[in-house]
Chain A
Amino acid sequence: MTLRATRRNVLSTVLLLSGALGIVSLAALTVGGVHLSPSEVWLGLRDAGMPRVEAAIIVRDIRLPRIMLAVLVGAALATSGTALQALLRNPLADPYVLGISSGAALGAIVALWMGGRVASASPAMAFAGALLTTAWVYLLGRRGGRLASYTLLLAGVITASFLSAVILFVLSRLSTRDVRGTAFWLMGDLSVVTGVQLRLLLPSIALALAGLYWFSKDLNVLLLGEEEAVHLGVNVELLQTVVYVLASMLTGIAVSVSGAIGYLGLLVPHLGRMVVGSDHRMLLPTAALGGAIVLVLSDTLARTVVAPAELPVGAVTAVASAPVFIYLLRRARG
C-alpha cells in the first residue's frame, strides 16, 4: 500500500504513531520484574518527596530512563537504516553495514581494557570509535572525489570485518569478568543510562532526524539512481555526504550508549514500506516512530520474560525478527 505524501497524511501518520508510542510506553512503565499496580506507577511518577517511595525509585529512576532510551535509540537506528538503504540503494543495508557499530564496540572494549577511570567513560570512547570509523570509511569510499554507493558499501564491509577481527583479539586479552560484561554491550543493553546521557541524546537525535527529513524528497529521487538524480536537479554530492554523516551519527550515538542492537535498522524500514510505501516523506517518520515502538516492546519483553534475570535486548530483536523475515520473504516470492 502506498499512502500519498501530503502534509495532511504525514501529519496524521505522525500523530497516530506518536499516540501508539505513548500508550506502549505507559504500558511498559507498569510492567517489570517487580509487580506494580497502575496506581502505584501513577503515584511513583508524580512522587517528588523525599525519602522516595520504592515505586518512585523503580518507576522514575529505573524504568523511565530505560524507556526513554529505548524510544530514542529505536528511532535513531530505524531512521539510520532507512536512510542508508536509500543512500546505498540496497534494501539489505542496515545501520551497521558501514562498520560504525564495530568501531563503537572497539572503542568501548578498549576502554574496558584500559580499565580504571577510562572504563567508566566507555560511551565516550565508543562514540569516538564511531566517529573515527565514519571518517575512515568516508575517505576510503570516495571515488573521483565523490561518494559512490558501491565503493562506500565495499569500504564499509571491509572496515567492519577488519574491526571485528580486532575486537575478537582484544576480547581474548580481557579478563573473564570484563568479557562477560562486554557480552551484554555487544548484544544490546538499555539498562545503563544516566540523566546526563539522556539530556545529550534527545537534542542530538532530534536534530539528526530533522536534518534527514529535510532531505527526504531528495532521497526519493536518489533511489532512481545517482545519474538520474543529477538529471532531476539533485545535488547528489551534497546529499550523499549529508545523509552519510547524519545516518552515521545516529548510529554512532545509539550504539555508544546501548551497544549494538541488531535487526531493528534492517527490519523496521521494510515494515514501514509495507505500510506506507517508499516515499521518504512518509517513511522516515514512520520508521522513526515504528522503531521506537518496536524497541520499547522488545525491551519490555527482555525485562520480563525471564525475570528477575534479563535477556539482552538484541537477543529479543533477533528472535522476533525471524518470523517477520520469513513473512517478508514469502510475500516477495508469492
Chain B
Amino acid sequence: MNEPLTTDGRPRTTESRPGVAGACLRVEGVAFRYLHFELAPTSFEAGAGELVAIIGPNGSGKSTLLELVSGHLKPLSGRIWLDGHELCSLPQRRRAQCVGLARQEAPLLFPFAVREFVRQGRHPHVGRLFESPDDEHWVQWALKKTNLVALAGRLITEISGGEFQRAVLARTLAQRPRLVLLDEPTANLDIGYQIDMLRLLRELAAKEDFVAVIVTHELSLAAEFADYLLLLDGGRCVRQGIPNRVLDSDLLSRVFRTPVLVDQNPLSGRPRVTWVMP
C-alpha cells in the first residue's frame, strides 16, 4: 500500500521489479455487434502482475469483451496490443502461445486423466505429435500451483466441480501465457475456494509476469482482489478505474437496478459491497 501510484490510482507494479520486462496489455476502442446487441468502443490498459476484473449485470457484454480482448474474436473496430504485438493479426497458434482463455466448459464425456487434461494446455507449444521434457515440466508446475498433484492420476470425469475448475485454471497456466483471461473462474466454488483461487491468481500474475483479466459476478471478491475494474452496462463501459473509484453506491444501484451499499472492509481497507433489502 505504500507503493507509488500511477496517475489513475493504480500501484505501479511493473516498476517494482526493475529489469524484468513485464507483460503489457493495451486495449484500444474495441467494439462489436451481434444481431441484437452492441458493444461500444472500450479501451483500457494493464501491466504484468495486475488483475483486472470486468463486472456488470447479465447481458452487459462482459464475456464478449473478454473474448475480444483475447484476439480470437475480431472486433468491428479497435485494436488490442499485447507486448507490442497486435493480437488479432497474430497467427492462431502464436496467439494461443501467449493468450490463455478459459470459459465455462461442459464437463467431458471422455475419460482423460487430470494430468492429460492439463497437458492440453501445452498444445500451442508442442511439436507435431509428442511433448518434450520441457512441456512435462510446465504441466507438473501447473498442477503444483493449483494443488492438483494428488489428483493428477484421477479421471477428469471423477472429480468435483470445484476441482474441475482448478484443473481448467491449471490447463490455462500450463500454456504459460502472457495474458490470462478467465470467464467466471469462481462460479460454483465454495467461498473458501473462491478466495484461494483469486489470491493464487494475483500471486502468479505477479511472479510469472502475466496480466490477468477476469469476468466475475462477485462484486466483493472483485473489490478485494482486483487492481482495476471495468463496470459494463448495456454494452457500454460506464466506469473504469481502481475499485474505490468504480464501486460507488449510486452508480451500482443504478446499474444493477437494486439498492446497493458500499462501505469499507475494516480488515483490508478495500471497498465492500452489500446488497440492501428494500
B103 contacts which chain A residues (CB < 8 A)? Answer: 227-228
In the complex, chain B residues whose CB is within 8 Å of the CB of A220? 116, 120, 123
A230: Cβ under 8 A from any B Cβ = yes
B95 touches A233 (CB 8 A): yes
Q: Which residues of the partner chain A approach B111 to less than 8 Å between Cβ atoms?
A: 2, 273, 277-278
Query: Which A residues are in CB contact (< 8 Å) with B110?
Result: 91, 223, 273, 278
Q: When A90-B109, A278-B110 are in contact, do A231 and B101 touch as well, CB less than 8 Å? A: yes
Q: B92 on the interface (CB 8 Å rule)?
A: yes
A91 to B101, CA, bound (A): 26
Question: Is B81 located at the chain interface by the 8 A CB criterion?
Answer: no
B116 to A2, Cβ gap below 8 A? yes
8 A Cβ contacts from B116-163 to A: 116-117, 120-121, 123-124, 126, 128-131
Contact of A232 with B112 in the complex, beta carbons under 8 Å: no
Q: Quick check: A231 and B96 within 8 Å, CB to CB?
A: yes
Q: Mark A1-18, 1 if CB is under 8 A from B, else 0.
A: 010111100000000000
Q: Does A277 lie within 8 Å of B96, measured CB to CB?
A: no
Given known A-B contacts A7-B130, A216-B129, A233 and B124 have beta carbons under 8 A apart: yes
Contact (A277, B130) CB under 8 Å given A223-B110, A224-B105, A233-B96:
no
Q: B113 at interface (Cβ–Cβ under 8 A)?
A: yes
Asked if A146 CB lies within 8 Å of chain B CBs, one says: no
- Contact between chains at A224 and B108 (CB < 8 Å): yes
Chain A nearest Cβ from B88, distance in angstroms:
14
Residue of B nearest to A5 (CB): B130
B240 within 8 A of partner (CB): no
State which of A214, A216, A228 has its C-beta within 8 Å of the C-beta of B105: A228
Contact B112 A278 (CB under 8 A): yes
Q: Mark A258-288, 1 if CB is under 8 A from B, else 0.
A: 0000000000000001000111010000000
How distant is the Cα of A72 from the Cα of B175 in the complex, in angstroms? 39
Interface size class on chain B is 20 to 34
A234 interface hit (Cβ, 8 Å)? yes
Contact (A279, B108) CB under 8 Å given A221-B123, A230-B72, A231-B101: no
List residues of chain A with CB within 8 A of the CB of B130: 5-7, 281
- Specify which of A2, A217, A224 lies most central, judged by the most chain B CB atoms within 10 Å of its CB: A224
How many chain A residues have a CB neighbour from B under 8 Å? 30
Residues of A within 8 A of B70 (CB): 231
Measured between beta carbons, the chain A residues less than 8 angstroms from B93 are: 233
B35 at the interface (CB under 8 A from A): no
Taking the complex as formed, is B194 at the interface, i.e. its CB lies under 8 A from any CB of chain A?
no
Q: Are B124 and A232 in contact (CB under 8 A)?
A: yes
Q: Closest CB of chain A to B218's CB: distance in Å?
A: 23
B267 interface residue (CB < 8 Å to A): no
Q: CB within 8 Å of A: which of B75-125?
A: 92-97, 99-103, 105-106, 108-113, 116-117, 120-121, 123-124
- The interface centre, meaning the residue of A5, A89, A216, A278 with most chain B CB atoms within 10 A of its CB, is A278
The answer to whether A231 touches B72, judged by C-beta atoms less than 8 angstroms apart, is yes
Interface flags, A54-82, vs B, CB<8A=1, else 0: 00000000000000000000000000000
Q: Is A161 an interface residue (CB 8 A)?
A: no
- Tell whether, in the assembled complex, residue A217 and residue B129 are in contact, meaning their CB atoms are under 8 Å apart: yes
* Distance from A47 Cβ to chain B, minimum over Cβ atoms (Å): 43
A225 interfacial contact with B, CB 8 Å: yes
Q: How far is the CB of A82 from chain B (nearest CB, A)?
A: 11
B113/A277 in contact, CB under 8 A: yes
Asked if B116 and A277 sit within 8 Å, CB to CB, the answer is yes
A167 to B127, CA, bound (A): 47
Interface flag for A37 (CB, 8 Å)? no
Give A195-233 interface residues, CB cut-off 8 Å to B. 214, 216-218, 220-221, 223-225, 227-228, 230-233
Most B CB contacts (10 A, CB to CB) among A214, A218, A231, A234 go to A231
* Chain B residues in 8 Å Cβ range of A232: 96, 120-121, 123-124, 175
Report the minimum CB–CB distance from A10 to chain B (whole Å). Answer: 8
Q: What is the CA–CA distance of A114 and B37 in the complex, to the nearest angstrom?
A: 57
Q: Which residues of A contact B112 (CB under 8 A)?
A: 2, 223, 277-279
What are 29 residue pairs bridging A and B, where the CB atoms are less than 8 Å apart in the complex?
A2-B112, A6-B130, A89-B109, A91-B109, A91-B110, A216-B129, A217-B128, A217-B129, A220-B116, A221-B120, A221-B123, A223-B110, A225-B105, A228-B102, A230-B72, A231-B101, A231-B102, A232-B120, A232-B123, A233-B95, A233-B123, A235-B92, A273-B110, A273-B111, A277-B112, A277-B113, A278-B111, A279-B112, A281-B130
